[in-house]
Chain A
Amino acid sequence: MVGVVLLVAVIFIAIFAPLIFANTPWQMVQRPFLAPFAMESLPLGTDTLGRDVAAQLAYGARVSLLVGLVSTLVALLIGVPLGALAGFYGGYVDEGAMRFTEFFQTIPNFALAIVLVAIFEPTLASITLAIAIVSWPPVARLVRAEVMSVRKREFVDAATLAGLSKPRILVRQVLPNTVSPIIVMASLMVATAILLESSLSFLGLGDPNAMSWGYMIGAARTVIRSAWWLSFFPGIAIVITVLALNLIGEGLNDALNPHLSRKGKA
């Protein structure tokens, strides 16, 4: 519940950032290094170039959430079909798909993301894609495992017996039964993606035209001593969002797991 409220708040701020703040986050509006709460119109102070930190935070939410959501979506789009086919058809399909997945898993994923972003050059699209590319293998594995176990369940046999075709069984009978763990995983992946984007930004591999939280922290680390608020606020923003997503993930986990919901975690 807390998670949902927090997340909705963040999303709200992200969507309405242009309405709340008249200036773009790049606009230099005041003298640099204005401390937070020193000036009413600039509640969170200004950064090294005199830009409004509050506006940056709001606009940053857009990028961070966008990267998180889209990369998760892309990862699901790669991982779910691959895992589903591998798990359902087994044999060579499985072998091939899993070897392919293994390639991506043997390269440490942060390192791979760095290389990918460097190769494609950091733009919002390439960063999102790189994060998706490093995050899909666990999805594929999870879906595969789930599909494999669901495939062995007897209702699949029953459907076969009813004369349904294989693709139809996969889509209509098997996949719907793998949805809950995927949803739970996805909520955690969004969180991880936001962290990953911020880490890339920190290393200077962010999109220079997109204001994100990671960018803010990366830009602020050199002045962490003299202007604590510049890295503190975006840091807190990331923590809150990731926390919210985690809480939602755990909530879903409990809600979707009949064993746990029955126990009632009062």
Chain B
Amino acid sequence: MKELLEIKNLSVSFNTLKGEIQAVRDVSLSLHEGEVLAIVGESGCGKSVLCKSIMKLLHDNAYIKSGSIIVDGVDITHYGRKDMERLRGRVFSMVFQDPMTSLNPTIPIGEQIAEAVRVHNPKMKKAEVYERVISMMDLVGIPDAEDRYKLYPYSFSGGMRQRSVMAIALASEPKILLADEPTTSLDVTIQAQILDLLKSLQKKLLTATILVSHDLGVVSRVADRVAVMYAGKIVELGTVEDIFYEPRHPYTWGLMRSLPSLAKKGQELYTIPGMPPTLINPPKGDAFACRNEYALAIDYEEMPPMFKISDTHYAATWLLDERAPKIAPPVGSIR
């Protein structure tokens, strides 16, 4: 499979009054054509920042410290505003978390989609644009598209707005779709519909998708591959089966075990002790060590490299070193 997007040793930092926040630390990742890659992690682990830094949507106090972003074989790490404007929408496009605020309240939905169509096809005729907008609205499942064209966002419910946002994002047929927690602010039943839509669109259009989520359930529903992020780093990367059935990183174990849906009633729910570290002065060695009951002495000294487990499965923990004691994973491979 062709690699559409390749991120090499990317580090992104923010300058704040409190100091440098190292939001993304040395992340390497690749996205293949037509796959869904999910990035999971807790809030503040840098998953959103990673997404936005690909599209250069970060605020001006953020900067790429090192590493490179390669899209379709072209290095875009140092692209300026004009160059990015050319790429956005056509090459990659984004769906945001809150559909209530991500649409302009004073412009009709249809117009907002039309705008997205026109950006990269300035010569398109009015009727053609209209046609395309209607077909996009049909595609994302907004019924009676022609009547809804002129409606303003306030008369759309959350789910319908998220569908509109997806229509906007897909209007110029991007190769990569970045979805930043697209269902977090929606209800469960609506969430299911949007996820199904996302999956079916992805099948139909073969758009490579990066899905950012904190919900392991959502991830298991749509993802092909999963990257688990913790404190700005990717700690485990693999296919969805790898991650859910044979997790190797203690943090992934912790995440799985603390899910109430997997816990038995009456049993104590497992909790990961402590809190995630601040990213201003991240601890030396493995950032997860101080919350990890399986931590090795070296975890407090040295950052673990990515260990290869199989062709698709990687994890960054010293437990995979051949010198480390063998530990039976507390979760996975049961079902």
A binds B: no
